[in-house]
């Protein structure tokens, strides 16, 4: 999947008029992490991505998008808050995509539009087609 985290981090840092050292001190993270992430040579997990995003002044959906962009390069791609959910639920989307012939190697971009009860996921595939998945949560009384 296309990952723009190194460019996103660089842009947000420049927009905030921060040096790598200033951002590392605000976060706080190791001084070597920022240039390593910006060059794409290092990966970041949820904890460090959240610290960086908060130091950059991000909040809400913008912070969530930043974290997801960062952890897409990580081995641990599931948010800590999601881990207690059943494995069947966490793996449902991946299984459905695989059964439809959509593997991770042909997904070039992922766009998510969500609120509390409805979520639409649009996947841009490498051949230019778009796949859409919609979910609707209804609470039964």
pLDDT tens string 89-130: 989 989 999 999 999 999 998 988 988 899 999 999 999 999
Q: For residues 90 and 107, is the Cβ–Cβ distance under 8 A?
A: no
Whole-number pLDDT of residue 3: 63
pLDDT in tens, 41-95: 999 999 999 999 999 999 998 999 899 999 988 888 888 899 899 999 989 989 9
Whole-number pLDDT of residue 75: 82
Q: For residues 122 and 111, is the Cβ–Cβ distance under 8 A?
A: yes
Residues 5-71, CATH architecture: Orthogonal Bundle (1.10)
Which residue spans of the chain are classified as CATH 1.10.260.40? 5-71
d(CA 67, CA 47): 9
The model carries a pTM of 0.75
Q: Sorting pLDDT into bands at 50, 70 and 90, what band is 134?
A: very high
Length of the chain as a residue count: 141
118-125 and 130-136 as β-strands: parallel, antiparallel, unpaired? antiparallel
d(CA 113, CA 118): 8
pLDDT higher than 90, residue 22: yes
Q: Can you read off the two tokens belonging to residue 103?
A: 């593997």
H-helix segments, the chain? 5-15, 20-26, 33-38, 46-55, 60-71, 87-90, 92-99
Whole-number pLDDT of residue 98: 93
């Amino acid at each position: 999947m296309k990952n723009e985290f190194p460019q996103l981090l660089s842009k947000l840092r420049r927009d905030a008029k921060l040096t790598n050292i200033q951002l590392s001190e605000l976060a706080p993270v190791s001084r070597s992490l920022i240039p390593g992430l910006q060059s794409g040579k290092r990966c970041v997990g949820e904890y460090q991505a959240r610290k960086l995003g908060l130091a950059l002044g991000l909040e809400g959906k913008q912070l969530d998008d930043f974290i997801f962009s960062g952890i897409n390069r990580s081995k641990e791609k599931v948010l800590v808050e999601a881990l207690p959910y059943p494995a069947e639920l966490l793996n449902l989307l991946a299984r459905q995509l695989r059964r439809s012939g959509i593997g991770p190697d042909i997904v070039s971009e992922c766009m998510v539009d969500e609120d509390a009860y409805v979520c639409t996921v649009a996947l841009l595939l490498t051949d230019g087609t778009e796949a859409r998945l919609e979910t609707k949560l209804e609470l039964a009384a």
